Chains A and B, each alone.
Chain A
Amino acid sequence: MLELKPMINALLRSKIGAVLLLIQVAITLAIVSNAAFMISDRLTYLNQETGYDEEAIFSLSVSTFDPSINLVQQYAQDERDLRAIDGVIDAAMTNWMPLSGSGSSSSMHLVPNPEIGTGVRAAYFTTNEHMLNTLGAKLIEGRNFYPEEVVHADNYGKLPNTTIVTKDFAEELYPDGSALGKVLYQGEDAVEIIGIIDTIKGPWLNDSRPANVVIFPFNLSQPRTGFLVRTEPGKRAEVMAKVEELLLKSESRRVFYGIEGLDESKASYLARDTLVMRMLVVLIVVLVLVTALGIFGLTLFNISKRTKQIGTRRALGARKSAIVRYFLIENFLVAGLGLVIGAALAVLLGQQLMKVFSLPSLSFTFVLASAVFMLIMSLVAAWGPALRAAKVAPSIATRSI
Chain B
Amino acid sequence: MLWYYVDLSWRSFKRTPLVSILMVIAIAIGIGITMTTLSVYHMMSADPIPSKSEQLFALQLQTMDEGEGWFTKDDIPYQLTFKDAQRLMTDAKGDAQAAMVRTGFAVHLGDESNAPKLMDARATGRDFFSMFNAEFIHGGPWSQSDEDNAVNKVVLERSLSEELFGETNPVGKTVFLDKFLFEVVGVIEPITEHTKYYDLNNGAFRRAERVFYPFSLVKELEIGTWGNSNGWKREMVTTFKQRLDSEIVWIQYWVQLDSPESKANYEQYLKGYIQEQQKIGRFARKEPKYSLRDVNQWMEYNEVVSEDNKILVLLSFMFLAVCLANILGLLLAKFMRRAPEVGVRRALGASKTQVFVQHLVEVGLLGLFGGLLGILLAQLCLWGVRESYSYYSALAKMDFLMLASAPIIAIVACILAGLLPAWQVCRTNPAYYLKTQ
Contact = CB atoms under 8 A, between A and B. Distances in A.
Interface of A: 16-17, 20-21, 23-24, 27-28, 30-31, 34-35, 38, 63, 65-67, 113-114, 155-156, 187, 254-255, 257, 271-272, 274-276, 278-280, 282-283, 286-287, 290-291, 293-294, 297-298, 300-301, 304-305, 353, 357-359, 400-401
A-B interface, 7 closest residue pairs, ranked by CB to CB distance from nearest: A301-B333, A65-B178, A294-B326, A275-B389, A24-B325, A255-B106, A65-B106
B316 interface: yes
12 contacts: A38-B311, A65-B116, A66-B179, A272-B308, A272-B391, A276-B308, A278-B388, A286-B319, A287-B319, A287-B322, A297-B333, A304-B333
Given A17-B329, A283-B319, A358 B105 contact: no
Contacts of A35: 315
B436 A400 contact: yes
A188 B196 CA distance: 39
Given A67-B179, A272-B389, A305 B336 contact: yes
Given A156-B238, A276-B308, A20 B328 contact: yes
B307 interface: yes
A357 B116 contact: no
B312 A31 contact: no
B404 interface: no
A254 B385 contact: no
Interface string B28-46: 0110010011000000000
A31 B322 contact: yes
Interface residues of B, number: 50
Given A63-B106, A271-B389, A283-B316, A290 B436 contact: no
Given A20-B325, A24-B322, A293-B326, A286 B106 contact: no
Contact of A283 (B307, B308, B315): B315
B310 A357 contact: yes
Interface of B: 19, 22, 26, 29-30, 33, 36-37, 105-106, 115-118, 178-179, 234, 238, 307-308, 310-312, 315-316, 318-319, 321-323, 325-326, 328-330, 332-333, 336-337, 381, 384-385, 388-392, 420, 424, 436
Nearest to B396: A275
Given A294-B326, A305-B336, A63 B26 contact: no
A290 B384 CA distance: 21
Contact of B318 (A27, A114, A274): A27
Contacts of B381: 282
Most buried by A among B115, B322, B329: B329
Given A65-B116, A283-B316, A291 B106 contact: no
Contacts of B323: 290
Contacts of A155: 238
B21 to A, nearest CB: 11
Nearest to B421: A16
Contacts of B326: 24, 290-291, 293-294, 297
A296 to B, nearest CB: 9
Contact of B322 (A187, A280, A291, A305): A291
Contacts of B319: 31, 283, 286-287
A28 B322 contact: yes
A301 B334 CA distance: 8
Contact of B325 (A66, A282, A294): A294
Contact of B33 (A276, A282, A298, A401): A282
Contacts of A23: 325
B318 A31 contact: yes
A301 B23 CA distance: 14
Contacts of B29: 286, 290
A297 to B, nearest CB: 5
Contacts of B321: 27
Given A27-B318, A301-B332, 9 more contacts: A16-B420, A31-B319, A31-B322, A35-B315, A155-B238, A294-B330, A298-B329, A353-B311, A358-B307
Given A16-B420, A24-B326, A31-B319, A298 B391 contact: no
B322 A20 contact: no
Nearest to B312: A279
A24 B319 CA distance: 10
Contacts of A20: 325, 328-329, 332
Contacts of B315: 31, 34-35, 280, 283
A279 B39 CA distance: 14
Contacts of B420: 16
Given A255-B116, A290-B29, A17 B332 contact: yes
B86 to A, nearest CB: 24
Contacts of B389: 271-272, 274-275
A357 B311 contact: yes
Contacts of A297: 19, 22, 326, 329-330, 333
Contact of B388 (A24, A275, A301): A275
B240 to A, nearest CB: 12
Contacts of B384: 278, 282
A38 B319 CA distance: 16
A272 B396 CA distance: 13
A290 B322 contact: yes
A203 B385 CA distance: 25
Nearest to A23: B325
B26 A255 contact: no
A187 B330 CA distance: 70
A276 B179 contact: no
B436 to A, nearest CB: 7
